[in-house]
């Protein structure tokens, strides 16, 4: 008998009103059912929005440092539960245990950051142009917000959204991805155990169509924070026009690591193995392109292919496994399709390119780490997000070409340059159109207290991580306080100089 889980709506653990459910299975062993979850609908979302709206009226009056203290407590509880939650996360989405521990840790770090923000959350004090008049800004909550998270960082990304939203005084309706409902459940349970008012925080399980749609269309929500596909990001933008919701979008990348002729090649090799094949390539920040200077191209490619031969695929709970499965069959099929697209486009398949199904791998969605060389900038595998363990290698001969190749994509999330040349490093900062640039480090590995997000099709300009989301989840209130006792007209009674 598999365990059944519920929604958390209006302060209670409840089934979906329609009584429907869906299964959550282990992508490393599809026979294992991790749990059965409610498949919710619009009526469930309506109840969640109603409860959060009611509860938010009290929450907005709770002093911000007190809100922060509750969130700090949640981070403390996550520390205690880290091992259990990490193991469950590997079971439900496949990435290896060291990485799922990192995922929970990112949520812990984000919780402590939010807790400390409770004693900052600065406004600004600004001089007035008139005498005996003060001016400053403060924050008001947006209201109730819808948070829609992806499956690749099942606790970190919900934490990026929930902690700032709650700290800023909002009510929350959260939909975890249907591939990772257990991690979403653990996360919400922890926040409730820490003392977040139950009705304020609502968890609604289901698919993008059954729950995501009603969330983005809902007139009772004032903001949406979404991480996921470009197609859905565009849909949310269109739908939100009608209700003028504030929208924060993070829609992926086509990130490149550039290896320059003077690079420390051993270091660059470690970087690309981690960046391209960590999380089985299923990160928005994954290294999907490797741009190599012609002087070291052949040598570095040989080193890379040899190193890939030593990587071990398997169940992420087992010792010594480097790469877990793809999250589901659809993603696995996508890898098969992109291999075909690479071949048809004229690229040279150097390693991988096929489903791995030896022995126990047969039960899961494993794909061999794959490298295409001879990739040219206009090929589809050079420009489209693949979201899996497929790496496209491009050769360049000078910096201008490297920049042109790098920027030749609709995305702009993360970028990386390996070089010992200081001047070139700073040119990279100026020239690479991306929200994040790493020097001598891979494209993955953002820290929770710095802005995370990107240019062009990666999003709509907002940043998660760091201080940005606290502004996103707030209305800025400007206060003028005239203590002159007289009518003072700005621009008119201002003393001329
Ligand atoms: C994502 O892939 O959507 O920088 C998030 C990183 C992680 C977060 C990735 N800390 O790779």
Q: What is the DSSP string of 73-116?
A: HHHHHHHHHHHHHHHHHHHHH---HHHHHHHHHHHHHHHHHHHH
- The residue whose CA has the least distance to atom 3 of ligand 1 is 284
Q: What is the pLDDT of residue 1?
A: 60
pLDDT in tens, 32-42: 999 999 999 99
Specify the ligand 1 atom closest to the Cα of 282.
2
Considering the candidates 99, 117, 284, 448, report the single residue annotated as catalytic.
Answer: 284
- The residues, ordered by sequence, that sit 6+ positions from 433 with a Cβ below 8 Å of its Cβ are 406, 407, 412, 455, 456
| Ligand 1 midpoint to CA 44 (Å) | 30
207-228 pLDDT, tens digit per residue, is: 999 999 999 999 999 999 999 9
Nearest to 428 by CA among 254, 260, 253, 261: 260
Cα distance between residue 176 and residue 207, in whole Å? 9
CATH label, 7-251+459-479, candidates 3.40.50.170, 3.20.20.70, 3.40.605.10, 3.65.10.10: 3.40.605.10
* Domain coordinates in residue numbering, the chain: 7-251+459-479, 255-439
CA–CA distance, 452 with 348 (Å, rounded to integer):
34
* pLDDT (0 to 100) of residue 253: 96
For ligand 1, mutation pick of 444, 448, 464, 465 (most atoms within 8 Å of CB): 444
Give the residue from 406, 459, 444 showing the smallest Cα distance to 252: 459
* Nearest-CA residue for atom 8 of ligand 1: 446
* 284 given a catalytic annotation: yes
Domains 7-251+459-479 and 255-439 share a fold: no
C-alpha 379 – ligand 1 centre gap (Å): 25
283 CA: nearest ligand 1 atom: 2
Helix, strand, or coil (residue 199)? helix
Locate the ligand 1 atom nearest the alpha carbon of residue 447 and give its number: 10
Distance CA 115, CA 166 (A): 11
- How many A from CA of 434 to the centre of ligand 1? 14
pTM for the model: 0.97
The verdict on whether 455 is a catalytic residue reads no
Q: Single out the catalytic residue among 106, 250, 385, 464.
A: 250
**In the chain, which stretches have pLDDT less than 50?**
none
Going by C-alpha positions, the residue among 493, 492, 484, 480 that lies closest to residue 128 is 480
Span from the CA of 153 to the centroid of ligand 1 (angstroms): 7
Q: For a substitution probing ligand 1, which of 452, 458, 463, 465 has the most ligand atoms within 8 Å of its CB?
A: 452
Question: 226-255 pLDDT, tens per residue?
Answer: 999 999 999 999 999 988 999 999 998 999
What's the gap in Å between 283 CA and the centre of ligand 1?
6
Residues in the ligand 1 pocket, defined by CB under 6 Å: 106, 152-153, 283-285, 444-446
What is the CA(187)–ligand 1 centre distance, in A?
A: 18
| 278 CA closest ligand 1 atom index | 11
Per-chain mean pLDDT for the chain: 98
Which CATH superfamily does the domain covering 255-439 fall into? Aldehyde Dehydrogenase; Chain A, domain 2 (3.40.309.10)
């Amino acid at each position: 008998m598999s365990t059944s889980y519920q929604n958390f709506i209006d302060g209670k653990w409840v089934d979906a009103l329609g009584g429907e459910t869906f299964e959550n299975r282990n992508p490393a062993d599809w026979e294992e059912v991790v749990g059965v979850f409610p498949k919710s609908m619009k009526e469930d979302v309506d109840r969640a929005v109603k409860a959060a709206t009611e509860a938010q009226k009290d929450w907005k009056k709770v002093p911000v440092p007190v809100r922060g203290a509750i969130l700090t407590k949640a981070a403390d509880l996550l520390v205690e539960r880290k091992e259990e939650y990490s193991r469950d996360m590997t079971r439900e989405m496949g990435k290896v245990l060291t990485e799922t521990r990192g995922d929970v840790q990112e949520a812990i770090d984000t919780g402590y950051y939010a807790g400390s923000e409770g004693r900052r959350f600065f406004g600004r004090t600004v001089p007035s142009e008139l005498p005996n008049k003060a001016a400053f800004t403060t924050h008001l909550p947006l209201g109730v917000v819808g948070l829609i998270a992806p499956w690749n960082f099942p606790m970190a990304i919900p934490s990026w959204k929930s902690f700032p939203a709650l700290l800023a005084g909002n009510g929350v309706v959260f939909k975890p991805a249907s591939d990772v409902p257990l991690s979403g459940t653990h996360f919400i349970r922890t926040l409730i155990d820490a003392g977040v008012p139950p009705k304020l925080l609502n968890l609604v399980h289901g698919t993008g169509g059954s729950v995501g749609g009603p969330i983005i269309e809902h007139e009772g929500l004032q903001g949406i924070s979404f991480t996921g596909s470009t197609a859905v990001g565009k849909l949310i933008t269109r739908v939100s026009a009608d209700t003028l919701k504030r929208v924060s979008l993070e829609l992926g990348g086509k990130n490149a690591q550039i290896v320059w002729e003077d690079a420390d090649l051993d270091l660059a090799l470690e970087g690309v193995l981690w960046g391209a094949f960590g999380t089985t390539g299923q990160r928005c920040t994954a290294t999907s392109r490797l741009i190599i200077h012609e002087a070291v191209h052949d040598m570095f490619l040989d080193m890379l292919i040899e190193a890939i031969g030593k990587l071990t695929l398997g169940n992420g709970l087992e010792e010594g496994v480097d790469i877990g499965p793809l999250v589901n069959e659809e993603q696995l099929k996508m890898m098969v399709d992109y291999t075909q697209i690479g071949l048809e486009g004229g690229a040279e398949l150097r390693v991988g390119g096929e489903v791995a199904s030896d022995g126990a791998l047969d039960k899961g969605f494993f794909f061999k780490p794959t490298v295409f060389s001879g990739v040219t900038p206009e090929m589809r595998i050079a420009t489209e997000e693949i979201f899996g363990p497929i790496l496209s290698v491009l050769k360049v001969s000078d910096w201008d070409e490297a920049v042109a190749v790098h920027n030749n994509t609709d995305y702009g999330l993360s970028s990386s340059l390996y070089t010992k040349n200081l001047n070139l490093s700073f040119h990279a900062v100026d020239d690479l159109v991306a929200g994040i640039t790493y020097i001598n480090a891979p494209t993955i590995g953002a820290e929770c207290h710095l802005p995370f997000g990107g240019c062009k099709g990666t999003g709509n300009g907002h940043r998660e991580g760091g201080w940005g989301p606290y502004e996103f989840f707030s209305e800025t209130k400007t206060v003028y306080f005239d203590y002159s006792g007289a009518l003072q007209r700005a621009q008119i009674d201002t003393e001329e100089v």
